[in-house]
Structure 1
């Protein structure tokens, strides 16, 4: 078991009025590093994030987690957040805090962030190598594919009139805010429009009783991924959180399988 402490850090992303301080925690260890990317309105202290960091420590692996702007311990207003901004912040933390090949573990919207990071890395041909993806209840393109088709005329008008949509949350007493900017920026960050070349193995875990992300969405995502190196596990009674003890054990096994695959392939 690795006894290296988890180190808290922060960095400033953007400049001028767009500057925001992003909080993260990282732990040194062997590669590949497990990097947690949370979902919409989630933070790095959630059950799955904590479990993943303990798993890394127990196996002597490096790890990293962060809060996007407007989330958890980071600065910035949540209402200013967009996919582009959150990808930029995750990329900055990855560059600053991870010096080993990385396995990105993206939950819900975090899976969208992970796929955009892979696309950025492949386009740049540099930076932190991404050697595996573990996507939990993945929600890439959720603004276009999951939300827009369900918007009522009244909701569409609310977006036009107010610039945002306020919806009750099943996970918090506070309502969930979706801004017009989020929808517009989401359209510029779509990943399920053609083949997604990841260059690494991908594992997807999806609950079939997920009320937020239908399991068909995960299967649609698979159709855009390379035919080899993709593993999909459907949890028949799994919900969106995937935080029950048996769900966490499933995530743990999948993460360690990706670690072993990266080492066997000589990429970590």
Structure 2
């Protein structure tokens, strides 16, 4: 497994240092897109890195600004900003079709990347999507309906609110800019034509993203290109050995489909 002592590389995106780690190999490559406040050294990303090394496929992962080893402040982050950085990583450091593996918020980034790549005439970069506990539109769909009056007031008066994190000793900070920008990046408002296979892995015991959200996402995707695997006792992390095995199997199935 990689360790923190394995130094990352950096690319510059609009003056911000974006940290990345890359495994050289054949196409289709794999691009890891992490979740909100996560970093590229998590269990799922490490598992994919080791799989890529063992099977000769290229693999790249990065930290969004304000995350992990990248520069910038977390509170300055938005979906648009992290999307732009992810697109630059793919454009600067990959060739051939890629499988975008997006976890939680990373699945939202992956769906927006698919839209932007096709809009730019770069659809050939996109081989498939693997979405793990996908949380597209989470600010508008999952958070805004549950905001307390105090949180709404903090957003308007302070520009942010905080809440304890189950995954970090530091509180989660949600800014007004994140919510405003999230509305501009919504994908579950019409058909999301990815022009490629999509596989969704979703835990039914996920306390953060209800499995109904993943099923509603499917309604916005072309049905003949989508596979959904519901894991009855799976949580939001999907990092147990059996979950990691399912993730790897899904990657292998997508590679087989792309290579047909």
TM-score range with shorter-chain normalisation? over 0.9
Aligned to 1:239: 235
CA contact (8 A) 2:10 2:18 kept: yes
2:56 is equivalent to residue 46 of structure 1 = no
> CA distance change for structure 1 residues 95 and 191 in 2, over 3 Å: closer, same or farther?
same
> CA distance change for structure 1 residues 128 and 68 in 2, over 3 Å: closer, same or farther?
farther
Aligned to 2:172: 176
2:247 is equivalent to residue 223 of structure 1 = no
Whole-Å Cα distance in 2 between the matches of residues 128 and 109 of structure 1? 24
Whole-Å Cα distance in 2 between the matches of residues 177 and 121 of structure 1? 30
Equivalences for residues 45-64 of structure 1 within 5 A: 45-64=41-60
Aligned to 1:3: none
2:138 is equivalent to residue 142 of structure 1 = yes
Q: Deviations over 1:227-268 (max 9, x none)?
A: 11200000000000000000000001001100111111xxxx
| TM superposition score normalised by structure 1 | 0.93
Aligned to 1:11: 11
Q: Secondary structure at the match of 1:94?
A: helix
CA contact (8 A) 2:114 2:123 kept: no
Return the offset for 1:96: 1.0
Whole-Å Cα distance in 2 between the matches of residues 214 and 176 of structure 1? 19
Return the offset for 1:100: 2.1
Return the offset for 1:26: 1.1
Whole-Å Cα distance in 2 between the matches of residues 31 and 69 of structure 1? 27
Aligned to 2:253: 257
Q: Secondary structure at the match of 1:51?
A: helix
Aligned to 2:3: none
Whole-Å Cα distance in 2 between the matches of residues 34 and 56 of structure 1? 8
Q: Secondary structure at the match of 1:233?
A: strand
Return the offset for 1:57: 1.0
Aligned residues between the structures: 255
Question: What is the aligned counterpart of 1:22 among 18, 27, 34?
Answer: 18
Q: Deviations over 1:172-192 (max 9, x none)?
A: 111000000000000000000
CA contact (8 A) 1:69 1:86 kept: yes
Q: Deviations over 1:67-113 (max 9, x none)?
A: 00000000000000000000000000111111121000000000000
CA contact (8 A) 1:99 1:128 kept: no
CA contact (8 A) 1:11 1:21 kept: yes
CA contact (8 A) 2:188 2:217 kept: yes
Q: Deviations over 1:3-46 (max 9, x none)?
A: xxx984211111xxxx2110111111111001100000000000
After the TM superposition, which segments of 4 or more aligned residues of structure 1 sit over 6 Å from their partners? Answer: none
Whole-Å Cα distance in 2 between the matches of residues 26 and 206 of structure 1? 27
